[in-house]
Amino acid sequence: MTGYTEGYRVWGWGGAADVPVPAELLALAPFVSETTGVPAQEPLPPVAPPALPPSRRLATLPPSLREMASDDPVDRARHAVGRSYRDLVRAMAGRIDSPPDLVLRPVDEQGVVDVLSWAAEAGAPVVPFGGGSSVVGGVEPRGLDAAVSLDLGALTGLVEVDAVSRAVRLRAGTLGPAAEAALKPHGLTLRFYPQSFERSSVGGWVATRAAGHFSTRLTHVDDLVESVRAVTPSGVWESRRLPGSGAGPSPDRMLLGSEGTLGVITETWLRAQPRPAQRWSATLAAPDLATGGRAVRGLVQAGLLPATCRLVDAGEAALTGTLTTGEAALVLGFESLAAPLDGETALALELCADAGLQVLESGPRGSAGEAWRSTFVRAPYLRESLLLLGVLVETFETAITWDRFDALVADVTAATTDALRRVCGEGTVTCRLTHVYPDGCAPYFTVLAPVRRGSEVAQWDEVKAAASEALAAAGGTITHHHAVGRDHRPWYDRQRPDPFALALAGAKAAVDPRGVLNPGVLLG
C-alpha cells in the first residue's frame, strides 16, 4: 500500500484515511455497474509517483528564495495536475507529463514580490497554485520549460473583520473550510460553497470567477468581492474598497477570472452575512427536464430567489438517489436571515403546480434534498473510485438564455452521446441546472462511459471536443464557472470578441512584460 498511498498524495481529493483501497473497490464494483449501467473493470493496481528529472532552477535560485523552494518529486508531481478527468487518469497511472521544475511557497506577500521579480529576470514561467482543484488545466505547466509552481498555501488566515459593513479581509491561500471556521466566532459566513469547497482557496475563487452551491442571488464570487489585492511583475494592484463604483472599468473585474495571468492575488475583501435563521426545502417531480425548466423560469421571473434550485433530469435523479420514479427532480430551498418564508414558499409551490410539477415533500428539512446534498459533497471521492474501476466520469457546464435552453440540451446531449458511442462503444449523458437567472440558466452535464485502459485521455479529449463544439454551435458559453485554463482555450478564443482579445493582450503586456505569469491560460 505504500506506493498507493504515495500516489494518492498526488491525485487524491482527501487525506490518507480516504485512500480507496482495492478491497473496497472490489466491493463497490457491482453497485457501480448496477446504478450507472457502465460495466466496472478490475481496479487499477497501486502506482507510485514517477521519478522526475532533477530541478534545473534550484541551483540558480537566489539564496533568499531557497528557503521557500521544494524540489521533492512527490511535491512537484502534486503541483503538476489539477482535478480534471485527464489529470487524474494520468496521475493514477504514474504519468506526470508536465511537472514544475520547483515548488515555491512564500510565507508573506513580500515573498510573492521576490518570486515574481526573480522570475521576470530569469524568464521563468510562474503558475499560481491555490488548492489545486482546477478541472480545466489551469495549474498544469503544460508546454512550459522549467516552470515554477507558486503555492500560496502559506498565505492564509482572516486578517480583518468589518462588522459594521459586514465584510472580511482574507488571505488568498485560505481554503474554504478554514475561511468559514475563522468567520464563525464573529457570527458571519460567506455562504459560498463550490463543490471544491474542501480544497479550493479564496484566491482561486476570485482568479477563476468560481460559482458557489447556491443557485440564485449570490452565485459567482463576483457578487462577494469588495476589493482585491494582487502582485504583478510591474507592482502591486489593489482596488479601493467600496460597495460600488462607476469610475471607469473596474480594477476588480479585470482580476476576476484572470486565472493568474495578470497578477498573483494575495488578499481580498469579501462581503459576509449572518447565518440564516429560517430554512425550508422541497422536492418536486417533473415529467421531464423541459417541463421542470419552464417551472424554474416561472419562479425566477416572478422575482423569487431560492437559495437552492437544482433541476436534475431523470437519469441523474436516479443515480444520485434524489428520485427513482423515472421523472426529473427539482430540489428547492429557501433561506432567510429573519423574515418568515411562508409567503415565498407558498408562491413557489403554487407556480410549480401550475407548471405541472408534483410536490413530493416540503418543510424545514427534506430527505431527498439531503440525499442530493450528501451526494454533492461526496462526489469527488466517488469519482476517484469510478476512475480506478475503469469508468470515464467527467462533467462540463455552460450557460444559455431561456429561449435556447431546450435546443441546447437536446443538441449537446445528442452530440455527446454520439461521440461516446463512437469512441467508447456506449455511454450515458445526464443534465442538471446548477444556477438560474431571470434570463437563463446554467446546464451542467455529466458523462459516464466504459474506457479502454491506456487510452483514457485520448478518448475523453475526443468526446470533450465534440461536446464543446456542440455548446458553441448552440450559442452557449464554453464555461459558466469552471474557468478557461488550457483545456478551454480553443473555444474561448472563438467566443471572445477580437478587439477584446487585443485589449487583454495589452493589459498583459503592461503588467507582465516578460510574460511569465501562467503562460497559455487565456492568452499567449
What global pTM score does this model have? 0.95
DSSP state of 343: H
pLDDT of residue 266: 98
Predicted pLDDT of residue 48: 85
416 to 121, 262, 430, 465, 492: CA distances (angstroms)? 46, 34, 10, 9, 19
- Which of 121-127's residues contact partners 24+ apart within 8 Å by CB, and which partners? 122/57, 122/60, 123/514, 123/516, 124/57, 124/148, 124/516, 125/516, 125/518, 125/519, 126/150, 126/264, 126/516, 126/517, 126/518, 127/79, 127/100, 127/260, 127/518
User: Could you give the dihedral angle defined by the CA atoms of residues 315, 320, 321 and 324, in that order, rounded to the nearest 10 degrees?
Assistant: 0
- Cα end-to-end distance, the chain, whole Å: 42
What is the CA angle 294-300-303, rounded to 5? 140
- pLDDT per residue, tens digit, the chain (524 aa), is 456 778 899 999 998 889 888 889 999 999 888 888 899 999 988 788 889 999 999 999 999 999 999 999 999 999 999 999 999 999 999 999 999 999 999 999 999 999 999 999 999 999 999 999 999 999 999 999 999 999 999 999 999 999 999 999 999 999 999 999 999 999 999 999 999 999 999 999 999 999 999 999 889 999 999 999 999 999 999 999 999 999 999 999 999 999 999 999 999 999 999 999 999 999 999 999 999 999 999 999 999 999 999 999 999 999 888 898 999 999 999 999 888 899 999 999 999 999 999 999 988 864 445 555 566 668 899 999 999 999 999 999 999 999 999 999 999 999 999 999 999 999 999 999 999 999 999 999 999 999 999 999 999 999 999 999 999 999 999 999 999 999 999 999 999 999 999 999 999 999 999 999 999 999 98
Question: What confidence score (pLDDT) does residue 49 get?
Answer: 84
Packing angle between helix 367-388 and helix 22-36, nearest 10 degrees? 120
Spatial separation of the C-alpha atoms in residues 78 and 97, rounded to whole Å: 12
Q: Cβ of 299: how many Cβ atoms within 10 Å?
A: 23
| pLDDT the model gives residue 368 | 47
Q: Which three cell numbers stand for residue 245?
A: 463604483
Judged on CB neighbours under 10 Å (0-12, 13-18, 19+), 248 is exposed
Query: Which grid coordinates are listed for 516?
Result: 511569465
Cα separation, 266 vs 203, whole angstroms: 7
**Helix, strand, coil content of the chain in percent (nearest 5):** 40, 20, 40
Domains and CATH numbers, the chain: 1-48 (no CATH), 158-274 (3.30.465.10), 278-473 (3.40.462.40)
